[in-house]
Amino acid sequence: MIIVTFNIRGLGGGNKSRYLRHIISNEGAEFVCLQETKVKSISESKCYSLWGDNKVGWLHYEGENGGGGMLSMWHQEAFIYETHLMGKGYIAVYGSLVKDNLRCVVVNVYVACNLRDKKTLWMELSNIKSSSQEVFWCLCGDFNAIRSRDERKGSTNRVDYTSEIRGFNSFIDDNLLLDTPIVGKKYTWFNSNGSAKSIIDRVLVTEEWMGKWLMCK
C-alpha cells in the first residue's frame, strides 16, 4: 500500500497544492495523510483538485484555534471506506484494500509540542487499538516526539526529554508497533537555517502489516 504523509503547514497556497498533486501522481498514492492544514473547512472540489481525480474519499479535522488540522484522503478504487474515529490529534480510517481484499486501519496523526497532549494522544490511540479486532494498522504523521536523544540535534533549550522518550517508546512497545525504516535524509524536520533538526515524523505499523509488505519503508 502506498501512503503519502506530509506536514504541509498550510493548505491554502497553490504551489503546495501543485506540489502535492505531483507527489500523489508520481508515487501512485492510494492514501494520503496531511497534517497542519490550517483551514477550517475542505470542499470536495479541493480534494479532487489535490488528487487530480474525482474518485476520492476524504475526512477533515479542522483542529483548534487554527492549529492541528488534518486531512485524510483515499482513492476509492484502491481503498473502500467503512467507518472512522476522529479526535484531537488523529483521524483513524477503517476500510479494505481492494487489490488485496484486506481490512486495515490507517491513522493520520498530528500532536503539538506539549507533553501532556502527547501522553493523552498515546493513551487514546492505545485504547482505540486495543478495542479493535483489526490487526493491520498503520499510524503515520507528525508525532512530535523522539525515541532517543540523538533524534533531536541542535536544540538551544535545555529541556529534559527523558519523559517524552520513555513515554513514546512505551506507547510503541505496548501496542506492538514497528518503526518503519527511513530512507534518504536521516532527519524529518529542520529549522530554517539547518542548525536544529529532529526525527518527529514517522510511520508505525503492526507486525502483520510489515509481514504483508516486507519491503515497507
Cα gap 212→215, rounded to integer Å:
9
At 61 the three-state DSSP class reads: strand
Mean pLDDT, rounded, for 52-75: 92
pLDDT of residue 94: 98
pLDDT of residue 155: 66
Mind listing the pLDDT tens digit for each residue in 9-26? 888 778 888 999 999 999
Q: How far apart are the first and last CA of the chain?
A: 11
Mind listing the pLDDT tens digit for each residue in 27-41? 999 999 999 999 988
| Cβ atoms of 70 and 101 closer than 8 Å | no
Cell numbers 529534559: residue: 160
Cα gap 107→109, rounded to integer Å:
6
Cell numbers 487554527: residue: 66
Mean pLDDT, rounded, for 79-87: 98
Domains of the chain, start order: 3-212 (3.60.10.10)
Cell numbers 486501519: residue: 105
Residues 6+ apart with CB under 8 A from 211: none
Residue 8: pLDDT over 60: yes
| Cβ atoms of 47 and 55 closer than 8 Å | no
Mind listing the pLDDT tens digit for each residue in 115-169? 999 999 999 999 999 999 999 999 999 999 999 999 988 865 556 789 999 999 9
pLDDT of residue 34: 97
Mean pLDDT, rounded, for 100-127: 95
Mean pLDDT, rounded, for 86-105: 96
Cα gap 119→132, rounded to integer Å:
20
Cα gap 134→132, rounded to integer Å:
5
pLDDT of residue 92: 98
Q: Closest by alpha carbon to 140, among 104, 185, 106?
A: 106
